[in-house]
Amino acid sequence: MGPQSHPDETRTDIESSRRRRSVEPVLMDTYEVAAMLNMSTSWVYREASKLGLKGYKLGRGRNAKVLYKKAEVFKWLEQQKIH
């Protein structure tokens, strides 16, 4: 047993724990964007693309999801700053 290992944890527990912590979501769904901007989801669907915030449509028809890159949302938000 190494100096950094915990006696109750197995090697696979430690490795899977590290994997879970290291993965940061890259995409946000419409609900997350709406909550972050304090706007409604209908506003995001209707106005965001007109204002320059582009989404990515995954799937087809009624089950399609519109996702947004988190970095692009923050960049777009920064561009909305009033000087």
Phi-psi region of 46 (alpha: psi -120 to 50; beta: other; left: phi over 0): alpha
Q: Is the pLDDT of residue 35 over 70?
A: yes
Q: Is residue 30 part of a domain?
A: yes
Let me know if residue 74 belongs to a domain: yes
pLDDT score, position 51: 87
Residue 11 lies in a domain: no
Domain assignment present for 15:
no
Alpha carbon distances (Å) from 14 to 1, 30, 65, 68: 13, 34, 34, 32
Structure confidence at residue 32 (pLDDT)? 95
Whole-number Å distance between alpha carbons of 4 and 54: 45
Q: Which residue segment(s) compose the domain that 66 sits in? A: 25-79
pLDDT band at 14 (very low <50, low <70, confident <90, very high): low
Instruction: Please state the domain count of the chain.
Output: 1
Whole-prediction pTM: 0.66
